[in-house]
Homo-oligomer: A and B are copies of this chain.
Amino acid sequence: MSTVVLPDDQVHRGHHARIVLLVLDGLGGLPHPDHGKTELEFAKTPNLDGLADRSSLGVLDPVGRGITAGSGPGHLSLFGYDPTEYVIGRGALSALGVGIELQQGDLAARLNLATFDSEGRVTDRRAGRPSDEEGRRVVAILNERLEQPEDHTITLTHEKEHRVVLLIRGEGLGADLTDTDPLEHGVPDLRCEATAPGSDLSASLVQDFLKQSREILSDEPKLNGFLARGFAAFERIPTVEERFGLRAVACAKYPMYRGVASLVGMEVPSIPGSAEETVALYEKHGPDFDFSFIHFKDTDTRGHDGDFDGKVAAIEEVDALLPRVLATEPDVLIVTGDHSTPALYMEHSWHAVPVLLSSRWARPTGGGFGESSCRRGDLGRFYGTELISIALAHAGRLVKFGA
């Protein structure tokens, strides 16, 4: 009988093992008609390929077969939250997206800056798509001059062009509210009305706010009012620490991803300005946390652009940074995406996403890191929400099920 040699210390099987989740946004691709390789397969990625050959490989469906995941649901899934159960409203996502730290019970909505004529009719639902500078100027005026309601606070945050996020904070704010956007020109905006009893207060606060804004902006020729839609109450959800015992940190350049991370209780130390700074931020903080989420956006952006070579370059940029992540010696390192954004499709798609999981307990199958090798990998095909238990298992953070 040969007895398998056990690890000589318990760190890898105890509960201090450290997990790193490295997300290349929109990683999954489609084969290029000229050579039949996907972006990931075409990219020169010696570091990822070498790591893959020591890793368990697989492919994941973020939400379900045939379902194209948005970025919010895609990340929730990777963090172990069923996105069909934890549905985050558009208003709340926008608020998270501009970096607002939402609190339980906050009411958020998406606002459009719009142009109204002297009769109160909407003449341009997007106020002529103002520059960011113009948008910010008007939002600053309002934040200064708005008269706050007695028991609530109203904050506006400029998002982009005509898009602004409304946040109302305080007690008793239901979100069962109708939109005020009439969706056509030449007619007045609609009243914001409560569609359930718990939202009457919200409706009246929103109406007062919209009326005040019109008064304050009455001298503006173009940016002189708002249309509101996508109301959402923010409900606190259990954190990754509460659910999985993981103290977690997020290293991400873009606000949307920091937002989703903070939603599940990750700490967000500061804002990196590039892929390199993102890794530097991880190097500084990651070793102090049980779980590190590192996010790279450019793969998705280049996919949306239909820029196959650009996506290849974005993957290669991450590959070049990988040795710095490896040098921190995470016990479990996962490299994957939140969904596919094939350059050929120029949009998020439903195609399964390649996954690499490196750990001393891996079952390598070789072939480098690509859709084809991952399809043949030991992890098989699984749902995004299952990733966290596989990661916890490899980190020795799960107890045996039953005796």
> Interface on A for B, CB 8 Å cutoff?
1-4, 6, 13, 30-32, 36, 38, 59, 63-74, 83, 87-88, 90, 93, 305-310, 342-352, 361, 363-365, 371-372, 375-376, 378, 380-382, 386, 388-394, 398-403
Given contacts A350-B393, A361-B349, A378-B375, contact A63 B1 (CB under 8 A): no
Closest CB of chain B to A120's CB: distance in Å? 31
Given contacts A365-B372, A401-B68, contact A346 B381 (CB under 8 A): no
CB of A3 within 8 A of CB of B307, answer yes
CB-CB under 8 A from A350, the residues of chain B are: 389-390, 393, 398
CB-CB under 8 A from A402, the residues of chain B are: 69-74, 83, 87-88, 93
Residue from the set A2, A30, A73, A87 with the largest chain B CB neighbour count within 10 Å: A2
- Residue from B32, B309, B352, B389 in contact with A66 in the complex, judged by beta carbons closer than 8 Å: B389
Given contacts A381-B381, A392-B66, contact A2 B308 (CB under 8 A): yes
CB-CB under 8 A from A400, the residues of chain B are: 68-70, 347-348
CB-CB under 8 A from A375, the residues of chain B are: 365, 376, 378, 380
Residue of B nearest to A305 (CB): B3
Given contacts A2-B309, A66-B386, contact A30 B403 (CB under 8 A): no
CB-CB under 8 A from A381, the residues of chain B are: 380-381
A65-B382 Cα distance, complex, nearest whole Å: 8
CB of B93 within 8 A of CB of A403, answer yes
Q: Closest 8 A-B residue pairs measured CB to CB?
A: A66-B389, A70-B402, A73-B402, A380-B381, A66-B393, A66-B390, A65-B386, A350-B393
CB-CB under 8 A from A399, the residues of chain B are: 68
Residue from the set A343, A388, A389, A401 with the largest chain B CB neighbour count within 10 Å: A401
Closest CB of chain B to A399's CB: distance in Å? 8
Copies of the polypeptide in the assembly: 2
CB of B363 within 8 A of CB of A66, answer no
CB of A309 within 8 A of CB of B63, answer no
CB-CB under 8 A from A73, the residues of chain B are: 401-402
A364-B342 Cα distance, complex, nearest whole Å: 15
A388-B381 Cα distance, complex, nearest whole Å: 18
A311-B351 Cα distance, complex, nearest whole Å: 34
What 10 new A-B contacts, CB under 8 Å, besides A31-B363, A38-B363, A348-B400? A2-B307, A4-B306, A59-B380, A69-B400, A70-B401, A71-B403, A74-B402, A93-B403, A350-B389, A365-B375
CB of A403 within 8 A of CB of B3, answer no
A346-B6 Cα distance, complex, nearest whole Å: 8
CB-CB under 8 A from A32, the residues of chain B are: 4
A6-B363 Cα distance, complex, nearest whole Å: 39
Q: List 20 A-B contacts (CB under 8 A).
A: A1-B310, A2-B307, A4-B306, A4-B307, A4-B346, A30-B361, A31-B363, A63-B401, A64-B389, A65-B389, A66-B390, A66-B392, A69-B402, A88-B402, A93-B402, A93-B403, A349-B393, A350-B398, A375-B380, A381-B381
A32-B5 Cα distance, complex, nearest whole Å: 10
CB of B365 within 8 A of CB of A67, answer no
A139-B346 Cα distance, complex, nearest whole Å: 62
A345-B345 Cα distance, complex, nearest whole Å: 43
Given contacts A350-B390, A403-B90, contact A67 B398 (CB under 8 A): yes
- Residue from B363, B371, B394, B401 in contact with A371 in the complex, judged by beta carbons closer than 8 Å: B363
CB of A72 within 8 A of CB of B403, answer yes
